[in-house]
Structure 1
Amino acid sequence: MPSAENLILIGILLLALVTVESGGYFLTRVVRGKVPANRLQQNFFRAGHAHAAVLLVLSIAILAVISHAALDGFWLWLARVGVPIAAILMPAGFFLSVIGRDPERPNRLIVLLWAGVAVLTAALITGGIGLIAGGIAAL
């Protein structure tokens, strides 16, 4: 059973999925030509939308089991909130790096994408190792 803190965070993440849903509506307007966007913007909008949804769902899955990890302090915090943080940073990098009228390439805000990648990688490695160690300890 997830802890009370994890249950609250799972509830917040479920509500955050509603924002992804509204982003899906925006994306349908883009692909129907109702919102002007060049090919780069369309591709980045799709990638941002997909990453947001997948990372939020992955966050919920992790929170359901992370209390069994052999982690504490900073490492437990990273394993708990790293993926939700990446779920903010990565889509923000995709969306914000192509704002403006007809950009030819992503702007400097693409750094948000790479920061999200770094946080995601650290959280997944930490959580994975912690869960393996917790599982071994429970044998």
Structure 2
Amino acid sequence: MLSAQDVILIGILLLALVTVESGGYFLTRVVRGHVPVNSLQQGFFRAGHAHAAVLLVLSIAILAVIGHAELDGFWLWLASTGVPIAAILMPAGFFLSVTGRDPQRPNRLIVLLWIGVAALTAALITAGIGLIAGGIAAL
């Protein structure tokens, strides 16, 4: 059974997918040459867009099953919110680290990507272990 908080978060995540959809429109403008970008920016924009979509959908999947995990307190919070946090930070790192005219390398905001990676990894490990423990306890 999903908690009220999980249901609300799933609703927010679904609405966030609309922003990914509009980002897809932006990418069609980039690849058609209507938005001047260099190859670094184009690659990072594509990566940011893809990560946003995949991580939002993964967040919803985790929230749908996390109630079966043997987790509580901080660990349940981490397993439930770590991937949505990564869904914000990782794309932000991709997009914001290549702003400006013709950047030759990512700027310091690339750190957002790595903080997102840490949140994603911690959440996946916690959710995975919690769900395995919950499954074993239910046997």
TM-score category, normalised to shorter length: over 0.9
Matched with 2:87 is 87
Instruction: Please state how far the C-alpha of 1:3 moved relative to its aligned partner.
Output: 1.7
What is the alpha-carbon distance in structure 2 between the residues aligned to residue 32 and residue 105 of structure 1? Answer: 23
What is the alpha-carbon distance in structure 2 between the residues aligned to residue 2 and residue 50 of structure 1? Answer: 27
Deviations 1:38-71 (A, max 9, x none): 0000000000000000000000000000011000
What is the alpha-carbon distance in structure 1 between the residues aligned to residue 6 and residue 138 of structure 2? Answer: 21
Instruction: Please state how far the C-alpha of 1:2 moved relative to its aligned partner.
Output: 1.6
One-letter identity of the residue aligned with 1:134: G
One-letter identity of the residue aligned with 1:25: Y
Matched with 2:12 is 12
One-letter identity of the residue aligned with 2:103: P
With normalisation by structure 1, the TM-score equals 0.99
| Cα RMSD (Å) | 0.5
1:54 and 2:54 aligned: yes
- Secondary structure at the residue paired with 1:47? helix
Matched with 1:38 is 38
Matches within 5 A, 1:1-139: 1-139=1-139
One-letter identity of the residue aligned with 2:49: H
- Secondary structure at the residue paired with 2:89? helix
Structure 1 stretches of 4+ moved >2 Å: none
With normalisation by structure 2, the TM-score equals 0.99
Q: Percent identity?
A: 88
How many residues get paired? 139
Instruction: Please state how far the C-alpha of 1:13 moved relative to its aligned partner.
Output: 0.3
Instruction: Please state how far the C-alpha of 1:97 moved relative to its aligned partner.
Output: 0.2
- Secondary structure at the residue paired with 2:19? helix
